[in-house]
Structure 1
Amino acid sequence: MARYIPPLSLLISVNDLPSSLGFVENSLNSIFSKLYFKAFYTEGSIHTHEVNYNITIVSFERLGLNLGGEEGFSLVLNPGFVEGDTSEFPMSILYNWPLLKYTKSFDLESFSFSIEAIYSLLLELGRIDEVQLFSMFMNVFYPDYGIDQSDSEEPFQIFIDDFNTNNNPATPLTLNVGGNEIEIIEDLITQLSSNGNEYSVFDFVLNDYLSSDDDFGSVQKKLERLFYDVFGSFTVDNFQKFLTPNFLASLNNLFLALEFPRSWLKPVDGQGEVIEDDSAKSLLTYNVGGVSYHSEKGFEFINPDNFDLTPSQIGDTGLLININNLKFDFRTDRNIPEADADRRPNEFQGVYADLVSITLPKKWFSNADYSTLQLAGRNLLIGTGGVSGTISLETLSGDSNNGNAYLGTQIGNWFIGFNYFDVRLKQNIIEDVRIEGLLTIPGLKEGNADAKLMIVGDIESNGNFELTFSDPQGVPFTLFDFVTFNILSAHLGEVNDNFFLGVSCEIWFQDDVMNKLIGDQKIIIPKLRIYENGRMEIEGGNTSIPTNISLNLGPVEVAVTNVHFGSHQQDGRNYNYWGFDGAISIDPLGIDARGEGIKYYYTVDNDDYNGVGDSLYILKLSL
């Protein structure tokens, strides 16, 4: 026969918990119905103002406590839960309400926490009568050392004069000369409530001396000084805490997990692809050692250890993250130092990592080689307000890169190597970026070596990545020893999964025929695309020439206005061609015409024909 385990609601309900837990009230309501208890016993003080409960909480389901609303993270209490098993949590709860040591009749819900209410309660707790209060009052507001020694009046007479002036009693107060302090006080108390007078010490002290700030000090300071002889050094603020019950609940030997919203982190599979199932969440699992909740200080983790984060993507940036060393901040009364340094609000909740490892997004690169360098995150703060920290390119030993080593990847036939990659984030905003690298382009030649461009990078706020090059003088490279491209600016782009280098360049020709036609004239191509597979095209098919150039064909002269580029097959050979269109003048006939001008073809498959090439040009006219 199965043993009966009573529900936790028999002992306590969510409504019994302090208001400071209101931020998780909905989550508590959802999990309280799933909790049961056993092994329950209590230990308490004789005044019952301090009680210690010991209990074992039992659950038959997975438990998650939402800590930050719809966009916040959840604290999963039993991440390793298997359907059909039970989870047990040994728990202790210390309940402490110092006020119960002095009175049993205090009603916290109706207490106003005003100066008047605190004053009356202090009188009750100290069991202070009118004589004692009068003596305390005189010591604070009319002390002996406050009187000018040349003045014949003494403190009680000064008080009497002040009272008669301020209150105009039916029968003015007089001093019982010759009595001791207690006798004088008792006589004044009698006068206050006789011969037509209806005053009490309790009322006039409050109304005449504790109602507003004055030369004696603020109301709060005067109240603290008045009751010093009874309660010692206390403040109104501390007394307010004294009036409020608090408790400390702690769980030991826990294996917990933080479950992050997908707007912060998205889990990825073994290939680094985001798991698109919205129910899949990134978990930070760890053997926490213990966790406590204090009604004033909030959550605190004790001796945390064995941290492990689900491999995840940061938001939609494409950056993959894996965390090692962590700090946690779930308290509501203070932040960890790192959160304060980042100017997060006091209610900040989240995690801090000294060091993390970062993997470049696959949408940027493929076949990345991390054998020399790695991307590392330093001083990362993740939580309320977003992500802050620095992401840098480092050697595997953790040293900063000096620019001599490159983190490389292949894009088609191209190679990109980064020697600097630093990104600084401030609460999800990219504040500073330093990305530099080298792009190698086979086919274009610098001497006998493949062409290399020094590039710089930028990351936009939406995660898009941009690589660019710019040099006002240009960097010249040759193609097939036929044409020189002097690249003035360039950017890396992608269309239909095909990468290309978009360049603005000048071109001139080494070929004898074209050199004879054009001479030393340079042609400006504002928008030329060079694809990873070696294919080239002018954007739009052709480009207008911003400055006039001419082709000298003997009796025929072509004033070029457009240049176009393409490929062609003929007689089994592969050709590229450059086309020059414009106005054609034929001397000495004086005939002007428009036409396609000239197309110059040259073979690009010479390697397949033992280095034997071919070229031709075609002139077309229309009169």
Structure 2
Amino acid sequence: MPAPQFFPALSNLIGTENLPEPIKSAFDKVSDKLFYKTYYVEKSIYGDTAYHNLVLVLKGNAGINIFGGDDGLQLLFNPGTSANTIEIPIALYYRLPILKYLRRITLNELSTIEDYFNLILEMFGISKPELVFEAFDIFLDGYDDTVLAFVNQFNANSNYSEYQPLPLPQTGNQFSDITELISFFESFGLDINLYILETYIDGSDLSKGFENMSLLFDRFLGEFSIDTLIDLFIPRISVALQSLNLALAFPRNMLQPVDGQGNVIDDGSKSLLTYNVGSLLYDTKTGFDFINPDTFQLTRSQIGNSGFILEVTNLKLDLKDNTNIPEADAYGYGPEFKGIYAQSASITLPKK
């Protein structure tokens, strides 16, 4: 008799403290019956995409006796490889692009042009010299001396009239001049990033502000719009129940499972005629989908105690009037064909 199998609890993977109500309460009520096996996960280096695959194991049979009581025929849902278990293969894929750049920010934290402006600076690690250089290149491109133009605009800006005039750097090198300008701003107690935002980006008009930011950050972002940023916060989730099965469990006086050598497996297990109902898929972009393979599999079995071994693989039943199973099409039958297909079927005579 095979040794009993033990499975890790699903609660080891999913911390209930991270679940919202009422999901947390519902999970706590059934967590003692939920287990898993063959867990596999792949994650991107930034954590913005991940693929999880596992087999959910539930203790107990989801089935009904349909003939002969407890010792008769049973109809089971997704019977597991271990006795009295249900196994449901599940695959989960998610993608949340913003995690590639930032770990702690939500879409509801972004309501103004300044919020988006600062987000882009943080996402791409744009330094103050880089920002000033880009602003000169984009918004002061028509001036022969961009540093002089910047200084003159600041000194003529009535919003900053309370500050002393901004000195003109004299290094003769644009990068060094920009570094000095940043130092001057800091000595005034001003943030040059905020000055660029207020002066060259129209924060009062969301549409105009994004248009100006698209120009300013084009070298970093390429094609850029508010939709581009919002898309970063929209998760893409795909969930698949990969195999939904119904199985007819035969009493051992009708069929008995056998091993590869044709010997009866004497552990109380039952032969199953399993109908692969299909896979149920859900995707946040495409919605629900159902893939229905319509296949049957029968456990290799001995018929009663006769010694005759029955083996059938990839059994398909075609009862539709308007479509065929692929195998019927391959043999040239019309769509009105109805019948049964088996990849292989055999009966082995008893051993001498």
- Under a length normalisation based on structure 2, what TM-score does the superposition of the two structures give? 0.55
8 A Cα contact 1:89 1:251, kept in partner: yes
Amino acid at match of 2:228: N
1:205 to 1:98, Cα distance in 2 relative to 1, 3 A: same
1:3 to 1:156, Cα distance in 2 relative to 1, 3 A: same
Deviation, 1:98, is: 4.2
Gaps of 5+ in 1: 64-77, 148-152, 257-285, 307-322, 326-623
1:46 to 1:109, Cα distance in 2 relative to 1, 3 A: closer
Deviation, 1:107, is: 1.7
**3-state secondary structure, aligned to 1:289:** strand
Alignment of 1:230-245 (within 5 A): 230-243=220-233
Measured against aligned partners, the alpha-carbon deviations of 1:538-581 in whole angstroms (never above 9, x if no partner) come to: xxxxxxxxxxxxxxxxxxxxxxxxxxxxxxxxxxxxxxxxxxxx
1:81 to 1:129, Cα distance in 2 relative to 1, 3 A: closer
The structure with the largest helix share of the pair is 2
Amino acid at match of 2:183: T
1:61 to 1:169, Cα distance in 2 relative to 1, 3 A: farther
1:23 to 1:4, Cα distance in 2 relative to 1, 3 A: closer
8 A Cα contact 1:210 1:223, kept in partner: no
Residue in structure 2 matched with residue 112 of structure 1 by the alignment: 109
In structure 2, how many angstroms separate the alpha carbons of the residues matched to 1:255 and 1:23? 29
8 A Cα contact 1:224 1:236, kept in partner: no
Deviation, 1:252, is: 1.7
Measured against aligned partners, the alpha-carbon deviations of 1:287-326 in whole angstroms (never above 9, x if no partner) come to: 66333334x43743253466xxxxxxxxxxxxxxxx999x
8 A Cα contact 2:242 2:278, kept in partner: yes
Residue in structure 2 matched with residue 167 of structure 1 by the alignment: 160
Deviation, 1:61, is: 6.0
Residue in structure 1 matched with residue 291 of structure 2 by the alignment: 303
Measured against aligned partners, the alpha-carbon deviations of 1:84-134 in whole angstroms (never above 9, x if no partner) come to: 84321222233444445445xx32369712343333232223222111011
**3-state secondary structure, aligned to 2:190:** coil
Alignment of 1:78-93 (within 5 A): 80=77, 85-93=84-92
Aligned-pair identity in percent equals 26
In structure 2, how many angstroms separate the alpha carbons of the residues matched to 1:302 and 1:232? 38
Alignment of 1:38-437 (within 5 A): 38-60=37-59, 80=77, 85-102=84-101, 106-108=103-105, 112-114=109-111, 115-144=113-142, 154-164=145-155, 165=157, 166-176=159-169, 179-194=172-187, 197-208=188-199, 209-213=201-205, 218-243=208-233, 246-255=236-245, 289-294=278-283, 296-297=284-285, 299-304=287-292
Measured against aligned partners, the alpha-carbon deviations of 1:376-409 in whole angstroms (never above 9, x if no partner) come to: xxxxxxxxxxxxxxxxxxxxxxxxxxxxxxxxxx
Amino acid at match of 1:122: I
In structure 2, how many angstroms separate the alpha carbons of the residues matched to 1:59 and 1:126? 46
In structure 1, how many angstroms separate the alpha carbons of the residues matched to 2:277 and 2:145? 67
1:62 to 1:86, Cα distance in 2 relative to 1, 3 A: closer
Residue in structure 1 matched with residue 313 of structure 2 by the alignment: none
1:62 to 1:241, Cα distance in 2 relative to 1, 3 A: farther
Deviation, 1:38, is: 1.1
Alignment of 1:474-493 (within 5 A): none
In structure 2, how many angstroms separate the alpha carbons of the residues matched to 1:39 and 1:45? 20
Gaps of 5+ in 2: 63-74, 247-274, 295-319, 323-352
1:137 to 1:253, Cα distance in 2 relative to 1, 3 A: same
1:110 to 1:97, Cα distance in 2 relative to 1, 3 A: closer
**3-state secondary structure, aligned to 2:189:** coil
8 A Cα contact 2:147 2:174, kept in partner: no
8 A Cα contact 1:55 1:92, kept in partner: yes
Measured against aligned partners, the alpha-carbon deviations of 1:439-495 in whole angstroms (never above 9, x if no partner) come to: xxxxxxxxxxxxxxxxxxxxxxxxxxxxxxxxxxxxxxxxxxxxxxxxxxxxxxxxx
**3-state secondary structure, aligned to 2:176:** helix
Cα RMSD of the aligned pairs, angstroms, is: 4.4
Amino acid at match of 2:41: T
8 A Cα contact 1:288 1:301, kept in partner: no
In structure 1, how many angstroms separate the alpha carbons of the residues matched to 2:118 and 2:204? 17
The structure with the largest strand share of the pair is 1
Amino acid at match of 1:135: F
In structure 1, how many angstroms separate the alpha carbons of the residues matched to 2:183 and 2:59? 71
1:2 to 1:199, Cα distance in 2 relative to 1, 3 A: same
Deviation, 1:224, is: 3.1
**3-state secondary structure, aligned to 1:233:** coil
**3-state secondary structure, aligned to 2:220:** helix
How many residues are matched?
252
8 A Cα contact 1:108 1:243, kept in partner: no
In structure 2, how many angstroms separate the alpha carbons of the residues matched to 1:221 and 1:255? 54
Residue in structure 1 matched with residue 300 of structure 2 by the alignment: none
**3-state secondary structure, aligned to 1:218:** helix
In structure 2, how many angstroms separate the alpha carbons of the residues matched to 1:222 and 1:14? 45
8 A Cα contact 2:78 2:245, kept in partner: no
Residue in structure 2 matched with residue 5 of structure 1 by the alignment: 7
1:222 to 1:290, Cα distance in 2 relative to 1, 3 A: farther
8 A Cα contact 1:288 1:302, kept in partner: no
8 A Cα contact 1:291 1:299, kept in partner: no
**3-state secondary structure, aligned to 2:109:** coil
In structure 2, how many angstroms separate the alpha carbons of the residues matched to 1:188 and 1:15? 50
Deviation, 1:39, is: 1.5
In structure 1, how many angstroms separate the alpha carbons of the residues matched to 2:212 and 2:225? 11
1:289 to 1:13, Cα distance in 2 relative to 1, 3 A: farther
8 A Cα contact 2:107 2:230, kept in partner: no
1:47 to 1:5, Cα distance in 2 relative to 1, 3 A: same
Larger gyration radius, structure 1 or structure 2? 1
Measured against aligned partners, the alpha-carbon deviations of 1:169-212 in whole angstroms (never above 9, x if no partner) come to: 52222444783432332232233233xx2212122123443522
In structure 2, how many angstroms separate the alpha carbons of the residues matched to 1:170 and 1:160? 13
Amino acid at match of 1:190: S
**3-state secondary structure, aligned to 2:36:** strand
Deviation, 1:13, is: 5.0
In structure 2, how many angstroms separate the alpha carbons of the residues matched to 1:161 and 1:221? 25
In structure 2, how many angstroms separate the alpha carbons of the residues matched to 1:128 and 1:178? 24
8 A Cα contact 1:160 1:173, kept in partner: yes
Amino acid at match of 1:289: G
Q: Greater RCO between the two (CA within 8 Å, min separation 6)?
A: 2
Residue in structure 1 matched with residue 325 of structure 2 by the alignment: none
Amino acid at match of 1:120: N
- Under a length normalisation based on structure 1, what TM-score does the superposition of the two structures give? 0.34
In structure 2, how many angstroms separate the alpha carbons of the residues matched to 1:181 and 1:324? 79
Residue in structure 2 matched with residue 396 of structure 1 by the alignment: none
